[in-house]
């Protein structure tokens, strides 16, 4: 017994379908052949039967998701320029039959791997056999496809046969793997270089979060240790007439080595004892102060290294540097 079905039978524009129910074969046949259809029907009649969809001879370029895919028994897309399937292809069952003998496919969505390859009838039209499509041949070979899928870029070559000769793909994969493995190594080397290059900045930032021990605070006897090139007359004038007077106006006590050093002690002893008892260190830089032929150059370098170490250890609260030439 065959029954015409009118309710819900697709009729959109020029795309008019004929629907018939075949209870004996458990089929609902929807025939939309040669109707200038540009897409699959959005709705189909309500049915308990499996759907047989004839869509041959239309202008369907893409097969997109439809709610009834799970109920499709057969779908004939012959003589359609089908160029793509979307990921909803996984919603078909392994009992379905999809005929796309005149397709223009370049590839398949990865979701087809969830299906049996014998669902598809590709006909004589193939797809490009390249490294990107190699997985299709592996899928078909692993699941023992019976219906052929040819390489469109090779004559009479199955895509399953291509994978055994695609040594270039292995080389490409090895090269890609090598390149990608170099990326984290490069990032690691750059990171190490940046950390080394910015190691002093990192130490300064780290020191800002360290609390100052109360015993160290009690050891501070002078507010500011002013360090400079004592042989430079202009700098001496700046220190005594500008810096020292400024600190005193701010009620900050100062230590200036050429004025306040303890008699009977060496320069090194004075540097160590007075830096360890100061809260701040003010370094006034000038040209030629680090020249090796200067008498105090060695002491100056020792003083600055000690000031840095005390600052990092939070024994000095702050170190300020003034470049007098600027």
Let me know whether 32 and 140 are in one domain.
Answer: yes
Question: Are 160 and 176 found together in one domain?
Answer: no
The pair of structure tokens assigned to 62 is: 């893409």
- Which residue, chain included where needed, has tokens 């160290």? 216
35: in domain: yes
Q: Pairing state of beta strands 50-54 and 27-31?
A: parallel
Do residue 125 and residue 70 come from a single domain? yes
List C-alpha distances in Å: 252 to 169, 213, 256.
Answer: 75, 21, 13
Question: Residues 120, 75: one domain?
Answer: yes
* Statement to judge: residues 118 and 20 lie in one domain: yes
Report the relative pairing of strands 84-85 and 18-22 from DSSP bridges. Answer: unpaired
Q: Is residue 204 part of a domain?
A: no
Q: What is the pLDDT of residue 178?
A: 61
Residues 6 or more apart whose Cβ sits within 8 Å of residue 325: 285, 286, 287
Q: How many domains does the structure of the chain reveal?
A: 3
- Please indicate, yes or no, if residue 312 is contained in any of the structural domains: yes
Kindly list the averaged pLDDT for each block of 10 residues, start to end, along the chain of length 326: 84 91 93 94 93 96 94 96 93 94 94 95 93 92 93 89 71 62 80 70 63 71 86 87 90 87 77 83 79 64 81 80 77
Whether 12 is covered by a domain: the verdict is yes
Contact 310, 298 (CB under 8 A): no
Write out the residue range of the structural domain in which residue 36 sits.
3-165
Can you give the CATH number for the domain in which 220 is found? 3.40.50.10140
Q: Is residue 95 part of a domain?
A: yes
pTM of the predicted structure, to 2 decimals: 0.54
215/285 same-domain check: yes
Per-residue pLDDT, 79? 95
Q: Answer yes or no: do 133 and 174 share one domain.
A: no
Q: Given this model, what pLDDT does residue 236 score?
A: 87
Residue ranges with strand state E in 248-300: 254-256, 278-285
Same domain for 18 and 116? Answer: yes
- Together in a domain, 45 and 193: no
Question: Is the same domain home to 220 and 301?
Answer: yes
Pair 50, 179 in one domain: no
Specify if 203 maps to a domain.
no
Asked whether residue 142 falls in the same domain as residue 235, the answer is no
């Amino acid at each position: 017994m065959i029954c015409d079905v009118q309710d819900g039978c697709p009729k959109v524009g020029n795309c008019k379908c004929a629907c018939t129910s075949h209870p004996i074969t458990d089929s609902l046949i929807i025939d939309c052949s040669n109707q200038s259809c540009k897409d699959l029907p959005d709705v189909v009649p309500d049915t308990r039967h499996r759907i047989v969809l004839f869509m041959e001879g239309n202008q369907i370029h893409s097969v997109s998701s439809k709610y009834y895919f799970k109920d499709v028994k057969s779908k004939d897309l012959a003589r359609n320029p089908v160029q793509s399937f979307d990921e909803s292809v996984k919603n078909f069952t392994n009992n379905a039959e999809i005929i796309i003998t005149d397709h223009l496919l370049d590839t398949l969505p990865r979701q087809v791997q969830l299906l049996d390859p014998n669902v598809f009838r590709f006909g004589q039209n193939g797809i490009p056999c390249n490294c990107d499509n190699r997985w299709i041949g592996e899928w078909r070979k692993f699941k023992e496809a019976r219906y052929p899928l040819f390489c469109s870029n090779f004559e009479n070559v199955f895509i399953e046969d291509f994978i055994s000769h695609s040594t270039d793909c292995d080389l490409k994969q090895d090269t890609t793997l090598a390149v990608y493995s170099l990326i984290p190594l490069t990032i690691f080397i750059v990171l190490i270089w940046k950390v080394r290059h910015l190691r002093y900045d990192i130490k300064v930032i780290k020191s800002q979060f360290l609390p100052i021990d109360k015993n160290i605070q009690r050891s501070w006897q002078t507010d500011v240790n002013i360090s400079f090139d004592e042989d430079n007359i202009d700098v001496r004038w700046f220190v005594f007439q500008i810096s020292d007077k400024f600190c005193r106006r701010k009620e900050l006590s100062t230590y200036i080595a050429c004025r306040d050093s303890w008699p009977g002690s060496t320069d090194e002893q004075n540097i160590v004892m007075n830096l360890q008892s100061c809260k701040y260190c003010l370094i006034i830089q000038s040209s030629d102060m680090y020249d090796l032929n200067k008498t105090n150059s060695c002491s100056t370098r020792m003083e600055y290294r000690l000031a840095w170490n005390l600052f990092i250890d939070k024994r000095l609260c702050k170190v300020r540097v003034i470049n007098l030439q600027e």
